[in-house]
Amino acid sequence: MEDLTQEEWVTQLEHDENAVILDVRTDDEVQEGIIPNAVHLDIYKGQEFINELHSLDKSKNYYVYCRSGKRSGQACSIMAQLGFENAYNLEGGILKWEGDLIDIE
């Protein structure tokens, strides 16, 4: 796992053909907006979250964020334990995000 500043996260993501953006916030938080193309998996769903992680392609590079960066850091640690080699945590989470957000319908 690697913590990246927003600038590092965006730059690396732009040049990564194998990238997946992962939002680990709650359903209520996601209603406030989500980074475009992000996949939503709520870390607070416990075993269901773990099961959803198992269904993901471990060969991809995951760019993970939450509200403040704490839960996404935990998610990256869990992913590392499950055998994911590349999980990048967005420092400061969506609170520090300056890019676009889209509404979830």
Rounded-to-integer distance, Cα 45 and Cα 61, Å: 22
76 among known catalytic residues: no
Of the residues 38, 66, 76, 90, only one is catalytic, namely 66
Amino acid symbol at 61: N
Give whole-number Cα distances, 31 to 21, 23, 96, in Å: 17, 12, 17
Cα–Cα separations (whole angstroms), residue 39 to 23, 36, 66, 100: 6, 9, 12, 15
Find the radius of gyration of the CA atoms of the chain: 12
Which of the residues are catalytic? 66
